[in-house]
Amino acid sequence: MAVSAIALAGCSAAPEVVVTAPAPEVVADGLEAPWSLAPFGEEMLVSERDSARVLEISASGEVREVGVIGGVSHGGEGGLLGLAIREGELYSYSTGADGNRVERRPLVGEAGALSLGDPVTVIDGIPSAGTHNGGRIAFGPDGMLYVTTGDAGDRQSAQDVEALSGKILRLEPDGSIPADNPFAGSPVFSYGHRNPQGIGWDRDGAMYASEFGQDTWDELNVIVAGGNYGWPVVEGIADDARYIDPVQQWTPEEASPSGIAVTGSDILVANLRGERVRIVPLDDLGTSTEMFVGEYGRIRDIAVTVGATWYLTNNTDGRGDPRSGDDRLILLGMD
């Protein structure tokens, strides 16, 4: 099948795309613990968690190294995690010696021959641990940078609005605090999260997030400014007026959701343990259908561009069962 052209995507507000199901095409394979997708022109940038490499993958499948993010301390779930692009700069979320941080670097050169400029710290001091590092970053339709952070093993910190762990943060692109954030002088946008790893927006500006639960329920949440999502007091739908319930929940063995993408009609949810993509219609958030069940193993991230949907597998991260050719970048073009 012919590879569709990709339009420049510098913001996470999704283009108008209706998901269909033609035959998938493996664009690249042999990736090592890949974590995040960031579209750039006709290229796709991919982060590798343990190597800290940023890869540039063309629509024809050529893979080249853009650069290595310095000072990354990988181990467990930490390392080079989320990527986002804005106005010619690459933003990255990674684990360093002193915790998780977000940095930005100029993308130097043209697609097919990119390199990285010098880093500038956007925010640091985000607690890190062997698990629950969050790590997704994206620019919302308001132009602000949103950052998901895990509880880093300190469950109670998720309820502490003075802590950066167990939160979704909202920042100006330079790292300063927006004046209209819900807690004055704080980057905290929402709290009570265990380990959110997917964020996206629909065309009306509503924000959605996927979240790993503990042993009982994984979640899909609608995120509102200042919202308390209950962890560690509650997990899943609790019908407790103090907390905001998820719009949908799944058991960890059928889900373990990571990256999400929002199209004109659906929320696409990548699932790790569940080894599938879940499709949640925007006009009925309590229902879903599934695809790729067991076909490609663990799926870490999804990106939607004009005319195509991209899926990133994650079987080489130490928790999957690698198959020949893993890990893969998979394309579904639109008929």
Q: What percent of the chain has pLDDT over 70?
A: 93
**294/307 Cα distance (integer angstroms):** 25
pLDDT, tens digit (0-9, with 9 covering 90-100), for 53-94: 999 999 899 999 999 999 999 999 999 999 999 999 999 999
Domain count, the chain: 1
CA atoms within 13 A on the CB side of 79: 19
pTM of the predicted structure, to 2 decimals: 0.93
Residue 41: predicted pLDDT: 87
Choice between 169 and 23, residue whose per-residue pLDDT is larger: 169
Q: What percent of the chain has pLDDT over 90?
A: 90
pLDDT at residue 27 greater than cutoff 80: yes
What distance, in Å, lies between the first and last C-alpha atoms of the chain?
Answer: 10
Residue 8: predicted pLDDT: 30
42 confidence band (pLDDT: 50, 70, 90): confident
User: Residue 38 sits in which domain range?
Assistant: 25-333
**304/9 Cα distance (integer angstroms):** 9
**70/177 Cα distance (integer angstroms):** 26
Residue 334: predicted pLDDT: 56
Q: Residue 192 domain-assigned? A: yes
**91/20 Cα distance (integer angstroms):** 31
Residue 62: phi, psi to the nearest 5?
A: -70, 130
Choice between 308 and 334, residue whose per-residue pLDDT is larger: 308
Q: Residue 19 domain-assigned? A: no
Amino acid type, 247: V
**Strand arrangement of the beta sheet that strand 188-191 belongs to:** 137-139, 145-149, 167-171, 188-191
Residue 21: predicted pLDDT: 53
Q: Residue 32 domain-assigned? A: yes
Hey, how many other C-beta atoms are within 10 angstroms of the C-beta on 40?
20
**232/243 Cα distance (integer angstroms):** 11
CATH code of the domain in which 129 resides: 2.120.10.30
Q: Residue 248 domain-assigned? A: yes
Instruction: Give the C-alpha distances (Å, rounded to integers) separating 76 from 22, 52, 168, 181, 274.
Output: 36, 14, 21, 32, 20
Q: 48: which residues sit within 8 A by CB, 6+ positions away? A: 31, 32, 33, 34, 35, 54, 55, 80
pLDDT, tens digit (0-9, with 9 covering 90-100), for 253-311: 999 999 999 999 999 999 999 999 999 999 999 999 999 999 999 999 999 998 899 99
Q: Residue 8 domain-assigned? A: no
